[in-house]
Amino acid sequence: MKFDDDVKACAGLVHRADPDRFMAAMAAPVAARSVLFPLYAMNVEVARAPWVTQEPMIAEMRLQWWRDALQEVAEGPTVRRHEVVTPLSRVLSPHLAAQLDEYVAVRRWDIYRDPFEDEEHFDSYIDHSAGTLMVVSAQALGAADETVLRDFGYGVGVANWFRAIPDLEARGRIPLLDGTPDGVRMLAQKALQRLMNAQSNRAAVSKDACPALYAGW
């Protein structure tokens, strides 16, 4: 896939809104960047959709727009013209596009102020957001075992979640089931264990797919 104006626009969006992933993508080979930038730009758009309005219905509509766009990519042949969706449609297989539906749907939690119901609910949020983005990014580049990617994505997702806690609390959200030092320590240990599981099985991620893991730096 060529580095056309749409991909450049995606890169600009990621550079402004997600400098960590921008630097990770820039560390990848040029051919991989043209795959990663549309995915990371989509992540920016989806992640901020619940926060750009105080109206839950409008936020729901923004997320639904992305679910509809991804359905078009998965089912084809017609895909809406959009500076992120258009290049995205060129890097996603129907299977990977369908995977991203739950990735978008799980962000509905961000719209409301309800806490996570239980550990399973929290794990599902991390797995379907950070985990699925890691799976799709890697498998769009090359062969990679999904279990390994989800273990790695969970560890990275929890690390990023910890970084986001002050902002989430300032916005009136309850980001943790147990915010005590012991509760945070247990969650960190669980995430570290999954990172170690991924590292132990990293041979199951091909060289072509490896640049997607740079986002976990």
Mark which of 112, 128, 146 sits at the end of a domain.
112
Q: Which of 58, 54, 64, 18 is nearest to 37 (CA)?
A: 18
Q: Answer yes or no: do 172 and 200 share one domain.
A: yes
Please give the span between the terminal C-alpha atoms of the chain, in angstroms, as a whole number: 26
Average pLDDT, the chain: 96
> Of 112, 133, 162, which residue is a domain's last?
112
Same domain, 81 and 119: no
| 99 shares a domain with 10 | yes
Instruction: Compute the distance between CA of residue 104 and CA of residue 98 in angstroms, rounded to an integer.
Output: 10
Domain count along the chain = 2
pTM of the model: 0.95
* 8-32 burial code (b ≥16 CB/10 A, e <16): ebbbebbbebbeebbebbeebeeeb
- With a CB cutoff of 8 Å and minimum separation 6, the contacts of 206 are 142, 143, 144
Give the domain-ending residue among 83, 112, 141: 112
Task: Tell me the per-residue pLDDT of 148-195, one tens digit each, with 9 for 90 and over.
Answer: 999 999 999 999 999 999 999 999 999 999 999 999 999 999 999 999
User: Do 24 and 126 lie in a common domain?
Assistant: no
Do residues 97 and 179 both lie within one domain? Answer: no
Q: Do 134 and 174 sit in the same domain of this protein?
A: yes
Same structural domain, 95 and 125:
no
Secondary structure letter of residue 112 according to DSSP? S
Domain that holds residue 58: 1-112
Are residues 3 and 103 located together in one domain of the fold?
yes
Q: Are residues 98 and 169 in the same domain?
A: no
Give per-residue pLDDT as tens, 95-137: 999 999 999 999 999 999 999 999 999 999 999 999 999 999 9
